[in-house]
Structure 1
Amino acid sequence: MSSFSRSQIVRKPEARSQGGIVAAQHAEAAEIGAKVLEEGGDALDAAVAVSFAMGVLEPWMSGPAGGGAMMIWRAGEAEPHAVHYGMRSPAGLDPADYPLSGEGRASDLFPWKAVVDDRNIQGATAVAVPGLVDGIGIAHARFGRMPWRELVEPAVALARRGLHVDWYAALMIASATRILAKDPDAAALFLEDGQWPTIAGWTALAEKHLDMSRMADTLSVIAERGHREFYDGEVGEALARDVQAKGGSLSFGDLNAYRAAFQTPRSLAYRGGRLHVTPELTAGPTIADVFSRLAASLTPGAAPGPEAFAAYADACKAAYETRLSEMGDNESPHAPACTTHFSVVDRDGNMVALTQTLLSSFGARVVSPSTGLLLNNGIMWFDPEPGKPNSLAPNRRCLMNVCPVIGEGGGRRFAVGASGGRKIMPAVAQLSSFLLDFGMSLEEAFHHPRIDMSGGPAVIADETLGDETLAALRARHEVATTRRTVFPFAFACPAAVMRDGDGNTGATEIMSPWGDAVAEG
């Protein structure tokens, strides 16, 4: 039994505007994106600025050395665009360098068989080829209005200022202190004398910032020279050299060869509307499976009740059974949120739903000293046991749980996604259903309690769903109840924007202490 208050009520109103809106996991990043919109940029321009800003403000969740995917809607076009910039295993990786220890399961997100010294989870040996900067770069090259340099510069300024260590940042760093201490460069960036950084007393107004000047220098070079600097220039050379010096296999050649890609989204008809998702190596195919099941099992009504949540649980369970058996994604359903998602809509109706990640919280827990960047641990996405659907191999694309979605129906269009590992897809599915099946506003949808059914033995249900709904779930599934809390998140952390006519709204997870939706002007 938790000791949290049962009487506390949390409300976070949606943002409303005739202009553009940015909904992000950090309010300051959302403000930066809204300023870009105010200055004449469109949704894609704002997304570039927010992406780089989030890598500074939430460096343990995402950053230039990570990967992800996005969905883009261009006003006046009939079909959206998908961009895939997932990570790859290095071409020189040797699976023999990741021997099974023969003792239990891995210590992080995935219940793989354990590898000696956790070489696939932490340290330079866990680093995969990053894709984020190229994905952002090719999207900007096609759709951006504002100069690249102007969009990266706000992140440079944030890094020059340094990471503000408030109570939430201190809590995140404290949760990883022991493992960060193993890498001298990570310890130098995030810790004080090997301990988590102190913050001012709770009545003090003094601010504390971590020194991120090296990252600022790197971002400044990328701003001036363009996105391929990260892959073909001095930044890429330095990054590869640092990883290899620490024992990893990432090479400058891997970076030279990396290319993000535009893809044709997977689109499906639903309730007279449509859902558009990323087509492969994400949770896009899995959420499409869920909605094909909901089309037959869910009856829309005034509000989602016991039958709706039973349908959500059944559909998610069946879809994940297919995913786990055919695609090899075996992430623990109890994994912590370790990703960033934000959504943008501009005054013309252009939209972006963008998810980016380092994979684990703090990625490989290794910092590149030359670039100041925290590195991903994308190698952990692969099963270290040979002969499986997702077994570790060189020069192979990683399977991700990201799930950015563009949905439309009832005269409205929305962009939604979330962070939270395997919890992402069920959250995005329920929020999309709330909007399409029950006509909710974003504010109503984001405040409504949810469940999580992402491959574990039990449905995790918000205890405020009510006795009748919980009974309906228990009649078909094992059920565990919990509260929505600030930390850790029992459910995913979503962000969404919506266009209804010529007006826009935006919302973020109500329990996120940093997240907010900000309107331009």
Structure 2
Amino acid sequence: MFRRTFLASLPATALATKLLTRKADARAASTGAGTGGAAPEAGPQQAADKPKFWPKGKDRFVRYDVRAGDRPVGATFASRTAVYGTSGACGSAHPYATMAGLDILKKGGSAVDAAVAINACLGFLEPTSSGIGGDCFAMVWDPKVGKLAGLAGSGGSPMGLSLETVRRHAKNGAIPALGPIAVSVPGALDAWWTLHQRYGKLPWAEVLQPAIDYAENGVPVPDVIAYYIRRNMAIFKQRKAEIGEIENAFKTYAPNGVGPATGGMFRNPDLARTYRMIARGGRDAFYDGPIADTIDAYFRRIGGWLRKSDLQAMHSEWVQPYTTDYRGVTVHALGANTQGIATLQMLNMLEHFDLRGEGFQSPRSIHLQVEAKRLAYEDRARYYADPHFSKVPVEWLISKEYAAKRAALIKPDSILTPVYPGHAPDHAETTYFSAADKDGMMVSMIQSNFRGMGSGLVADGLGFMFQDRGQLFSLKDGHPNIYAPGKRPFQTIIPGFASIKGVPWMAFGVMGGDMQPQGQTQIIVNRKDYGLEIQSAADSPRWHHEGSSQSMGEDAPGLPKTGLLRLETGIPAATRSALADMGWTIGEPDGGFGRYECVENRHEGDTRIYAAASEMRADGCALAY
């Protein structure tokens, strides 16, 4: 899971410098100044002041008076065409992973086989967002029974780590993001195994072989992934005292002390050996075998708490997805310990407004969506938790009756302040990929190490980093998400799925921490309210609101009381200006607008046609055949 990876590592004073006042924003809108300014029509003098050359080593080349070339069909802002096929489709954040998934389908594998192969490949190819040190959630449309199944592959906290110990290590009332205190049991590998046991067609070892080959032989690293590996490694070096042991991380990902250059070769022979052990021994090699022994010894050596007994207790859980109807589309979401129902809450509120009538990318349309987010996220901070430890009033939260009451609070032309969670009745931050096969099975799957690459910790010789998901526990007495040994932390990663009249429509997701429900909602709104197709719905410029109430240490301090509204540069200057005039504090784009993949199921008579789209904000692609 990749999100605003390093925002929380910035001091409040540094963050404050990134906030734009209304006056500064208006100035940016009129001049195109700053990295997040809108794109005005530039005169000759303006253009002369802009960069003329992209210096080597510079991450971005920004000219606000230059736009993408014109496509002959489709939305003017679309980056490319969706891909189409009748036998199968895959989309992921790395082309090699997508190709591996498609190859698995062509060999007769199921969509689950392809999804597991993709995820295993991404653990090597995209370590900034994924790996077997993290957790995994999935939704699978099973054409044999005509139903959607959900799987929660989320590990609990170490049994030997007490609340008192966690509080002693807390900083400013929150669990640190890095080091062993934030490590919870990795659930991804068990989720792969559980999915494969039910839905797999090819042998387990054959599904893992592409990832083994990639990790052993190496691949060139694409732009975005190389950039974030270097960013992560710089943070780990800066915060070595907090993490404790970073030598293994640098040996694995940055033997040169920096990280791979864009287009440079990267190998991970340690991960290849780990995958081989898993290919031979299945999930038990990881949770009850030699890998578990190595993990246990490592955490004892560095003074951490994760033990083999914690790994042995890990078992994924089949769960029934929750649903809501949004203007004739059934949107599915996982409950468990995730934030999935926030998407349903937002859509239930937005159903009370004529977004189409307000206009695409209009100030009021964005304002209404952001207000629905703020209200839903107040509930998220108050109620969401592991249901095995706390009673979560999900049915009430996603009810149409409750949504109507919350929607009535939203003012079309002004910001609601303050916002509070609803009062429940007494009985009451990733990589994403999708796949579909010739039989009609569709998989929506998301997997993450949480913030950036994870905790900074790599066990001796294993080649993967452990997640820092435990940071998202609350430390407030009486809170449903308060830390407890063996408890699963609040999860940001959520797969998305939509169907129409009982027929699967989209397996989709928007990765990126708290952006995920916001991004999923924007995709559904773009498609249903504004008629965008599968690719342009993703290429449309996005908004990202930060600063909702948190019981966890997810957002940095120092934000305005109404939060910070980040807008991508493609949002019209007039919309930016109007939102600022409404009272929103507009922030610079920071790369935290999520990353999307989608496979869409279409029909022409008796012929099934898949359309697949990928995220232009990442390095990946979608393929179909």
TM-score bracket, normalised by the shorter chain, equals 0.7 to 0.9
How far, CA to CA, are the matches of 1:311 and 1:153 in structure 2?
47
Which residue identity is paired with 1:292? Answer: N
Aligned to 2:67: 8
Bigger share in strand: 1
Deviation of 1:68 (Å): 2.4
Q: Deviations over 1:271-311 (max 9, x none)?
A: 12211110231121111111111121244469634243232
Give the 3 Å change call, closer, same or farther, for CA 298–239 of structure 1 in structure 2. Answer: farther
Aligned residues: 488
| Other structure's SS at 1:159 match | helix
Q: Deviations over 1:48-94 (max 9, x none)?
A: 10111110111231111110211111225343011001231011112
Aligned to 2:156: 88
Q: Which aligned segments of 4 or more residues in structure 1 are displaced greater than 6 angstroms?
A: none
| TM alignment of 1:101-500, pairs within 5 A | 105=172, 113=173, 120-162=176-218, 164-181=220-237, 182=240, 183-192=246-255, 195-197=257-259, 199=261, 207-210=264-267, 212-300=268-356, 304-306=360-362, 307-327=364-384, 339-409=430-500, 413-456=505-548, 457-470=563-576, 473-474=579-580, 476-480=582-586, 482=588, 488-500=590-602
Deviation of 1:465 (Å): 2.5
Q: Deviations over 1:153-173 (max 9, x none)?
A: 111111111364455444223
How far, CA to CA, are the matches of 2:182 and 2:366 in structure 1?
38
Gaps in structure 1 of 5+ consecutive residues: 106-112, 330-337
Gaps in structure 2 of 5+ consecutive residues: 1-33, 36-60, 69-77, 241-245, 387-428, 549-562
Q: Deviations over 1:419-476 (max 9, x none)?
A: 2111111011110222233332112211212212354513222343224544554465
How far, CA to CA, are the matches of 1:79 and 1:57 in structure 2?
32
Deviation of 1:497 (Å): 1.1
Q: Answer yes or no: is the 8 Å Cα contact 1:462–1:481 preserved in 2.
A: no
Which residue identity is paired with 2:306? Answer: L
How far, CA to CA, are the matches of 2:87 and 2:578 in structure 1?
42
Give the 3 Å change call, closer, same or farther, for CA 143–166 of structure 1 in structure 2. Answer: closer
Q: Answer yes or no: is the 8 Å Cα contact 1:320–1:455 preserved in 2.
A: no
Q: Answer yes or no: is the 8 Å Cα contact 1:409–1:436 preserved in 2.
A: no
Q: Which one of the candidate residues 91, 97, 105 is aligned to 1:37? A: 105
Q: Answer yes or no: is the 8 Å Cα contact 2:599–2:612 preserved in 1.
A: yes
Q: Deviations over 1:111-142 (max 9, x none)?
A: xx256xxxx43223332111111111111111
How far, CA to CA, are the matches of 1:208 and 1:79 in structure 2?
43
Give the 3 Å change call, closer, same or farther, for CA 197–481 of structure 1 in structure 2. Answer: closer
Deviation of 1:416 (Å): 1.0
Q: Answer yes or no: is the 8 Å Cα contact 2:79–2:539 preserved in 1.
A: yes
| Other structure's SS at 1:442 match | coil
| Other structure's SS at 2:178 match | coil
Which residue identity is paired with 1:189? Answer: T
How far, CA to CA, are the matches of 2:98 and 2:305 in structure 1?
36
Q: TM-score, structure 1 length as denominator?
A: 0.87
Deviation of 1:242 (Å): 1.6
CA RMSD in angstroms comes to 2.5
How far, CA to CA, are the matches of 1:236 and 1:389 in structure 2?
30
Identity of aligned residues (%): 25
Which residue identity is paired with 1:312? Answer: Q
Q: TM-score, structure 2 length as denominator?
A: 0.73
Q: Deviations over 1:362-406 (max 9, x none)?
A: 211111114222111122121345444422221111111112111
Q: Answer yes or no: is the 8 Å Cα contact 1:90–1:251 preserved in 2.
A: yes
Q: Answer yes or no: is the 8 Å Cα contact 1:126–1:248 preserved in 2.
A: no
Of 382-391 and 60-69, deviating more is 382-391
Aligned to 1:506: 612
How far, CA to CA, are the matches of 1:169 and 1:325 in structure 2?
34
Deviation of 1:101 (Å): 7.0
How far, CA to CA, are the matches of 2:583 and 2:595 in structure 1?
24
| Other structure's SS at 2:570 match | helix
Give the 3 Å change call, closer, same or farther, for CA 255–364 of structure 1 in structure 2. Answer: same
| Other structure's SS at 2:147 match | coil
How far, CA to CA, are the matches of 1:395 and 1:102 in structure 2?
19
How far, CA to CA, are the matches of 1:394 and 1:287 in structure 2?
29
Q: Answer yes or no: is the 8 Å Cα contact 2:446–2:493 preserved in 1.
A: yes
Q: Answer yes or no: is the 8 Å Cα contact 2:370–2:545 preserved in 1.
A: yes
Q: Answer yes or no: is the 8 Å Cα contact 1:402–1:421 preserved in 2.
A: yes
Of 454-463 and 231-240, deviating more is 454-463
Q: Answer yes or no: is the 8 Å Cα contact 1:345–1:352 preserved in 2.
A: yes
Deviation of 1:96 (Å): 2.5
| Other structure's SS at 1:228 match | helix
| Other structure's SS at 1:297 match | coil
Of 389-398 and 180-189, deviating more is 180-189
